[in-house]
Structure 1
Amino acid sequence: MCLAVPGKIVRIEGEYAIVDYGGLRKRASLMVLPDAKVGDIVMVHAGFAIAKVDEKEAERTSEALSMLKKALGNEQEV
């Protein structure tokens, strides 16, 4: 199963963005979204920012991932 996780770009370093996932910050490639900017909410899959989304879509996705985590018994990292 492939999942993309929403996060907010807080900094750009060359071809990479530092993305905040509710307090956890990780680097993501902007190869697919070279026009992304600080403040954008992006979907990240396998270390690549693959799409921009609005806050509503990001919230719906986060809720769905939380439900999936509960269904898996909170044992799996989602």
Structure 2
Amino acid sequence: MCLGLPMRIEELNGPSALCSADGHFEGVDLALVPDAQVGDFVLVFQGAARRALDAQEARLIAEALAGVAAIMAGEADAAAVDRAFADLAGREPQLPPHLAAAYAAGRKEA
């Protein structure tokens, strides 16, 4: 499985950047987010920034990934899982708007 990681841009180098996450530094291609600046967060997948993130979204993704790592290592209890997925805990799953519309259009009332 491949995951996108939230990273912070530390330094711009033309069409690429030096980005960091948890003390790890990586060169990242910025072709898909050309307006990104130092200090911005980007979602990085296979060495390329796919889209810009705001600080809160970057934090939520990082917390979820840390939660998954803790679960896989057998180090997470139910409270830790709820903290890692705070934006999802205690609510019903929701379809994205385009899928919700398609679902509603295809649903038949009884």
Give the TM-score normalised by structure 1: 0.86
Q: CA RMSD in A?
A: 1.3
What residue identity is the alignment partner of 2:51? A
DSSP 3-state at the match of 1:62: helix
Q: Give the match's secondary structure for 1:28.
A: strand
The correspondence of residues 1-78 of structure 1 with structure 2, limited to 5 A, is 1-73=1-73
Q: Could you say which structure has the higher helix fraction?
A: 2
The CA distance in 2 between the partners of 1:66 and 1:39, in whole Å, is: 22
Question: Partners of 1:61 and 1:27 in 2: how far apart?
Answer: 20
Aligned residues: 74
Q: In structure 2, how many angstroms separate the alpha carbons of the residues matched to 1:47 and 1:35?
A: 17
Distance 1:2 1:41 in 2: 19
How far 1:49 moved relative to its partner?
0.5
Task: For residue 67 of structure 1, report the CA deviation from its aligned partner.
Answer: 1.0
Q: What's the CA shift string for 1:21-49, capped at 9, x where partnerless? A: 12211100011111111111111000001
Between the aligned residues of both structures, percent identity stands at 34
In the other structure, the counterpart of 2:93 is: none
Shift of 1:55: 1.0
TM-score w.r.t. the length of structure 2 is: 0.63
Q: Which has the higher strand share?
A: 1
Which position in structure 1 is the counterpart of 2:79? none
Task: Name which structure has the greater RCO, CA cutoff 8 Å, separation 6+.
Answer: 1
When Rg is computed on C-alpha atoms for both structures, the one with the higher figure is 2
Q: What is the distance in 2 between the residues matched to 1:32 and 1:25?
A: 19
After TM superposition, where is structure 1 displaced by more than 4 Å over at least 4 residues in a row?
none
